């Protein structure tokens, strides 16, 4: 069992991660997950953003969402047409039947992994939920950067996942050492496929 870790600002540090494609362009929506060799805190994982994938303008939003294991994710429909939401993933298999505007459904995700989402009615609707079992997780923004806060010093494994990555399981893994003082940084290049239709 992983040891409990105190969140002591005197020894907690940040990791800045930059993700680019082979052509040098920034990669958004890459999920950065860090697991310190010393383990992760036992306290329940909570993130500051909403655990929600909305249906708006015939798209799922956001394209990539990070949630902790056990999270209840809401699927509100803001469109004037009905949608279904489904996933056949190993992490979670479910199907929400047709429901209309201003209606919401909720699904509990109780296993770590990738949960791809689709709609039976609109084939171009696609999104992904990455269910994580570490509190040290963040998503890159449009500039390709993400910051993992309050890491303990020492060896750690950094896993960067993107749904459009050409690598095995969509992941790239690096080993780092978080310094005892100051911040750490990691620049990583990913081979990603062209942006799908929903991103255009």
CA-CA distance, 70 to 122, in Å (whole number)?
28
| Domain at 13-40+134-199, CATH homologous superfamily | Carboxypeptidase-like, regulatory domain (2.60.40.1120)
Phi, psi of 197 (to 5 degrees): -60, -35
Q: Please, are residues 97 and 125 in contact by the beta-carbon 8 Å criterion?
A: no
Joined tokens for residue 39? 């383990």
Which pLDDT belongs to residue 85?
Answer: 98
The CATH label, of 2.60.40.420, 2.40.420.20, 3.30.365.10, 1.10.8.60, for the domain at 54-132 is 2.60.40.420
Within 10 angstroms of residue 123's Cβ, the number of other Cβ atoms is: 9
Which strands sit side by side in the sheet containing 184-190, from one edge to the other? Answer: 145-151, 13-21, 184-190
Q: Please, are residues 124 and 198 in contact by the beta-carbon 8 Å criterion?
A: yes
Domain spans, the chain? 13-40+134-199, 54-132
The pLDDT profile of the chain, 200 residues, written as one tens digit per residue, is 333 333 344 456 899 999 999 999 999 999 999 999 989 988 999 999 999 999 999 999 999 999 999 999 999 999 999 999 999 999 999 999 999 999 999 999 999 999 999 999 999 999 999 999 999 999 999 999 999 999 999 999 999 999 999 998 999 999 999 998 878 999 999 999 876 654 44
Q: Tell me the pTM.
A: 0.90
Which pLDDT belongs to residue 1?
Answer: 31
């Amino acid at each position: 069992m992983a040891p409990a870790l105190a969140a002591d600002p005197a020894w907690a540090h940040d990791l800045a991660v930059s993700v680019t494609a082979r052509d040098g362009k920034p990669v958004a929506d890459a999920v950065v997950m860090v697991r310190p060799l010393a383990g992760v805190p036992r306290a329940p994982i909570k993130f500051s953003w909403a655990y929600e994938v909305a249906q708006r303008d015939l798209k799922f939003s956001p394209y990539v969402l990070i949630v902790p294991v056990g999270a209840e994710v809401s699927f509100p429909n803001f469109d004037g047409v009905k949608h279904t939401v489904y996933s056949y993933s190993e992490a979670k298999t479910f199907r929400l039947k047709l429901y209309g505007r201003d209606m919401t459904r909720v699904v509990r995700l109780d296993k770590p992994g990738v949960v791809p989402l689709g709609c039976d009615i609109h084939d171009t609707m696609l999104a992904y939920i990455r269910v994580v079992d570490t509190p040290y997780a963040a998503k890159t923004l449009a500039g390709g950067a993400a910051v993992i806060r309050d890491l303990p010093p020492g060896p750690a494994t950094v896993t960067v996942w993107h749904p459009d990555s050409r690598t095995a399981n969509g992941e790239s893994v690096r080993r780092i050492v978080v310094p005892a003082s100051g911040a750490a940084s990691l620049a990583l290049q990913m081979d990603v496929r062209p942006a799908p239709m929903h991103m255009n």
